[in-house]
């Protein structure tokens, strides 16, 4: 499938690049799983101020207009609002009317996001952002058939996202305090050393790129020494991935399983260190972190013997305390960027082997090509190898493999003076996709600078993996209209 998909991508690239905008030499590369850009450039401030310098002798400025000018320079308020919708065309309406109906319209979600940035003096700035949505699709069906967890997490939500204070108290030291996103690594779609922020996995493959990482309370220190940056992070808030809630069409579980979440305390603080170098012709970094695994493992708390069924275990979800050491490398060469990540994770726990912990080695290699006008092509290949593998772990509830392999292909191209954006993303699990995968296609059109519409389709490949088999009927088309202000 990946070979076919790659051939299709190459054909599209060679065919469409001829009609793409020729005067642009830069490829458009949208970084997957990325967070908000935290930086405001000094050039923007200079542009705003430039209009006042030449005319200050011609006009007398009142105190009110001075205050307004300062507010425009040092404070900005922006955001977006829109409507997102999805339609599941594969699932049929359940015959039992007491069951949740995941067919047809599965999302009709107006949303609103707002961000306030402000500069405090010359060396400090702050950000407060939030997002809210309400999904009308549940009210258009019999909402009583949906689980309480589904309605609580997917029908409506209002939350604060990034809230931080950032500045430079002196010299080469920067400090950032509050809810924030720390993005480590060079990969676009597969995570190796990027372990500090949890992710939103409630709709696998469907979450907006800007919302994948979840900001959490941290303290981050950056110290610059020439071409090197030493980064130290302390994570004060224990928060894990947002998984699909019980009863969701992305959660195949037939029973609720209790999840044990460690308390956010000084004893449970997570730590991270990174040494990042930006050199002439290449970039590299070293990473270390001690943290709780965002993905839970199962623990058997007791076993009950039931006549006719035998021994039935009672399960609980726990989060292992892991230690990660890793490195990244990125080398541009002509129209290519070659990149690699590697890490070793220690302290992994499982339900069926309780007398020891395991380690895992993760390796990723990839390349980005931007030789075509207004086009980018990205290929990434990752392997997770569970060291000292025990065959017991293949059984339920652990369901582990000694090697997990994932391959992703991403193709993006712009047309009509960069107002029409095509995106094709494919992922396959296993050496030849035997464990499942997904294909996502979308087309976005910028109606005007502040307003865009997007439409596309998501297709899931079942394979032999139980989870992807459960997604077999989750294929859907989606639509979004967004206005930015």
Instruction: Give CA–CA dist 340/248, Å, rounded.
Output: 36
Cβ neighbours of 176 (radius 10 Å) = 19
Residue 215 and residue 196 in contact, taking contact as beta carbons nearer than 8 Å:
no
CA 429 to chain centre: 18
Residue 161 and residue 130 in contact, taking contact as beta carbons nearer than 8 Å:
yes
Task: Calculate ∠ Cα 61-67-73, nearest 5°.
Answer: 105
pLDDT classification of 252: cutoffs 50, 70, 90: confident
Q: Model confidence over 458-482: pLDDT tens digits? A: 999 998 888 889 998 999 999 999 9
What domain range includes position 321?
A: 2-484
In terms of pLDDT, which residue wins out, 1 or 216?
Answer: 216
Per cent of the chain over pLDDT 90 is 74
CATH number (domain holding residue 431): 2.40.160.10
Nearest to 480 by CA among 113, 190, 124, 208: 208
Instruction: Give CA–CA dist 133/152, Å, rounded.
Output: 12
In terms of pLDDT, which residue wins out, 395 or 73?
Answer: 395
pLDDT at 255: 86
pLDDT classification of 208: cutoffs 50, 70, 90: low
Nearest to 323 by CA among 369, 280, 273: 273
Nearest to 465 by CA among 381, 379, 405: 405
Least confidently predicted of 174-183, 199-208, 334-343:
199-208
pLDDT at 447: 97
Residue 287 and residue 327 in contact, taking contact as beta carbons nearer than 8 Å:
yes
| Start-to-end CA span in the chain (Å) | 41
The domain total for the chain is 1
In terms of pLDDT, which residue wins out, 455 or 97?
Answer: 455
Q: Model confidence over 373-424: pLDDT tens digits? A: 999 999 999 999 999 999 999 999 999 999 999 999 999 999 999 999 999 9
pLDDT at 72: 54
Task: Calculate ∠ Cα 412-197-77, nearest 5°.
Answer: 70
Summary mean pLDDT of the chain: 86
Give the residue-averaged pLDDT of 86-98. Answer: 92
pLDDT of 218 above 90: yes
Least confidently predicted of 52-56, 93-97, 279-283, 346-350:
52-56
**SS3 of 242, please?**
strand
pLDDT of 361 above 60: yes
pLDDT of 61 above 90: no
Residue 24 and residue 374 in contact, taking contact as beta carbons nearer than 8 Å:
yes
State residue 476 phi and psi, 5-degree precision: -155, 160
pLDDT of 261 above 80: yes
Cβ neighbours of 352 (radius 10 Å) = 18
Residue 277 exposure: Cα atoms within 13 Å on the Cβ side: 12
In terms of pLDDT, which residue wins out, 30 or 242?
Answer: 242
Residue indicated by tokens 């995968």: 437
């Amino acid at each position: 499938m990946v070979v076919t998909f790659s051939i299709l991508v190459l054909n599209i690239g060679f065919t469409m690049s001829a009609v793409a905008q020729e005067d642009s030499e830069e490829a458009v590369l949208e970084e997957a799983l990325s967070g908000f850009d935290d930086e405001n450039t000094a050039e923007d401030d200079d542009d705003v101020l430039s209009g006042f310098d030449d005319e200050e002798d011609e006009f007398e400025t009142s105190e009110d207009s001075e205050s307004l000018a300062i507010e425009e320079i040092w404070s900005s308020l922006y955001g977006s609002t829109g409507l997102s919708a999805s339609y599941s065309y594969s699932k049929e309406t359940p015959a039992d009317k007491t069951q949740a109906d995941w067919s047809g319209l599965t999302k009709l979600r107006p949303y609103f996001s707002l961000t306030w940035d402000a500069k405090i003096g010359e060396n400090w700035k702050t950000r407060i952002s939030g997002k809210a949505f309400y999904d009308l699709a549940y009210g258009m069906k019999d909402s009583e058939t949906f689980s309480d967890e589904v309605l609580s997490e997917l029908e409506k939500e209002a939350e604060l996202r990034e809230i931080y204070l950032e500045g430079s108290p002196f010299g080469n030291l920067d400090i950032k305090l509050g809810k924030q996103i720390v993005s480590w690594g060079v990969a676009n779609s597969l995570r190796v050393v990027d372990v500090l922020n949890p992710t939103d996995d409630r709709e696998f493959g469907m979450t907006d790129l800007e919302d994948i990482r979840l900001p959490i309370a941290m303290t981050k220190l950056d110290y610059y020494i020439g071409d090197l940056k030493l980064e130290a992070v302390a994570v004060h808030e224990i928060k894990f991935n947002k998984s699909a809630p019980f009863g969701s069409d992305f959660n195949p579980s037939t029973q609720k399983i209790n999840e044990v979440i460690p308390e956010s305390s000084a004893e449970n603080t997570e730590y991270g260190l990174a040494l990042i170098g930006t050199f002439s012709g290449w970039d590299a970094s070293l990473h270390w972190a001690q943290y709780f695994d965002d993905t839970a493992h199962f623990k058997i708390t007791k076993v009950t013997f039931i006549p006719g069924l035998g021994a039935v275990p009672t399960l609980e979800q726990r989060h292992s305390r892991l230690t990660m050491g890793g490195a990244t490398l990125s080398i541009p060469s002509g129209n290519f960027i070659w990149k690699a990540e590697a890490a070793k994770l220690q302290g992994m726990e499982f339900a069926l082997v309780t007398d020891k912990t395991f380690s895992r080695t993760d390796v990723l290699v990839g390349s980005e090509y931007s030789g075509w006008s207004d086009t980018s092509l990205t290929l990434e290949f990752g392997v997770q190898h569970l060291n000292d593998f025990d065959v017991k772990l293949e059984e339920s509830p652990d369901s582990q493999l000694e090697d997990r392999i994932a391959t992703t292909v991403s193709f993006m191209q712009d047309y009509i003076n960069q107002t029409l954006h095509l995106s094709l993303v494919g992922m396959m699990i296993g050496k030849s996709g035997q464990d499942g995968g997904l294909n996502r296609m979308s087309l976005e059109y910028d109606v005007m600078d502040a307003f865009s519409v997007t439409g596309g389709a998501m297709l899931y490949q079942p394979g032999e993996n139980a989870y992807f088999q459960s997604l077999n009927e989750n294929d859907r088309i989606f639509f979004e209209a967004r206005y930015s202000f």
